[in-house]
Amino acid sequence: MLPNRQIPQPISQENPLWLSWHDTQMMASLSPQNVMDYFCRKSNPFYDRMCNNENIRMQRLGLENLNNMVGLEYILLHVHEPILYVIRKQHRHSPTDALPIADYYIIGGMVYKAPDLANVINSRILSTVTNLQLAFEEASSYSRYHPNKGYTWDFTSNKALSDKSKAAAKKDATTNKDESGTVFQMQRVDMLLAELLRKFPPPVPPNLHQQQIQQAGAQTNPSNIQDHNAAISDSNANTAASSNGNTSETSPVTAQGVEIKQEIIDMKPPPEKRIKQN
C-alpha cells in the first residue's frame, strides 16, 4: 500500500428519521383502499422491493395471501381517515407469528418513519443534558473569586443586560406601534368610526336622560331660577339674623351658581340713658 494514498472514508448513512417522502399525483386521493399502493411506490425510500408485497404485486394477488408467506412484509396497521395512516414493517415466521421491525405513518400524504422508544429516550436525555450544561455555564459566568472573600456572585452585568434588552424591546414595540398604519389609514378609520357612531348612537341610561330633560327645562325658565335663588337668599338672611344678634355673613347663590358674601348689620336702637337721682 502506498504511504501517501488516502483511504476514502465510508459514507455515513443518513438518519431515516430525517427523511420524508410524498407523491404529488396520489397524495390528494388517499384512502384505505389505495394507501398500500401509494406506500409501495418504487421511489419511496422506506419501501424494500425485496418484500413479499412486491412479489404479490407482480403475481397480481390480494394482500390476504401475505399470511401464507414467510419473510418481510408491510401491512396497514391503523387508519384515521382522511389524514392519518400507520403502516408496519414486520417479518413473518408463520401465519400467526410476526415480528415488528418498524412503523411508518402518513400524514396528509407525507410519509415519515416513526421513532422507536430508544430514539425517543435518547432525544429527551440529550436535550435535558444540553439544557443543564447551558444552565451551569450561565451560572458559572457570574461567579467571582477574591483572595479575601472567596467565591461570590455578581449579577450586575446580567441586570444591566436585562435592562438593555427590556429597553430595546420597548423601543421596538413603540416603533411597531407607530408604524401600525399610514396617516391615510388612521384618518379613514376615524371617519368610519364617526360615521358609525352617528348612525348607531349608544343608548342613553334612564337617569342621565331625566337629568338632561331637567336641565333643558331649567334653561327654558331662567326667571324661575332667579326667583328661587332670591327666596333662598332671603330665608338664609332671616335665619342668620334671628340666630345671631351681631354681624353675620350669608352666601346667596346667583343664577350663574356664584356665591356672593354679604354682611348683615342688626340695626337696634341704642339703650336709653337713665338719670341718676341723688
Q: What is the CATH superfamily name and number for domain 20-114?
A: Mediator complex, subunit Med6 (3.10.450.580)
Beta carbons of 111 and 22 less than 8 angstroms apart: yes
pTM of the model: 0.46
Residue where the block lists cell 429597553: 167
pLDDT score recorded for residue 124: 93
Q: pLDDT band for 8, please (50, 70, 90 cuts).
A: very low
pLDDT score recorded for residue 101: 93
Torsion angle of C-alpha atoms 77, 80, 83, 88, degrees rounded to 10: -10
pLDDT score recorded for residue 88: 94
Q: pLDDT band for 239, please (50, 70, 90 cuts).
A: low
**Looking at the chain, which residues constitute the CATH 3.10.450.580 domain(s)?**
20-114
Check residue 162 and report its DSSP letter: H
Question: Of the ranges 23-32, 34-43, 85-94, 186-195, which one carries the lowest mean pLDDT score?
Answer: 186-195
Determine which helix (DSSP H) or strand (DSSP E) holds 21, and give its type and residue range.
Answer: none
Arithmetic mean of pLDDT, 181-195: 75
Question: Of the ranges 26-35, 65-74, 147-156, which one carries the lowest mean pLDDT score?
Answer: 147-156
pLDDT tens, residue by residue, 116-171: 888 899 999 999 999 999 999 988 888 888 888 888 888 776 666 666 677 777 77
Arithmetic mean of pLDDT, 261-277: 60
Query: Which of residues 111 and 223 earns the better pLDDT score?
Result: 111
pLDDT score recorded for residue 226: 58
Three-state DSSP at 98 gives: strand
Measured CA to CA, the distance from residue 112 to residue 23 in angstroms comes to 13
pLDDT tens, residue by residue, 93-104: 998 899 999 999
Arithmetic mean of pLDDT, 5-15: 51
**High-pLDDT (> 90) share of the chain, %:** 27
Residue 269's Cβ-side half-sphere holds a number of Cα atoms within 13 Å equal to 3
pLDDT tens, residue by residue, 247-262: 444 445 554 455 555 5
Ranked by mean pLDDT, the top range of 44-48, 165-169, 265-269 is 44-48
> Measuring CA to CA, how many Å separate 172 from each of 127, 158, 169?
32, 21, 5
> Measuring CA to CA, how many Å separate 13 from each of 18, 19, 40, 194?
11, 12, 22, 67
pLDDT(233) > 70: no
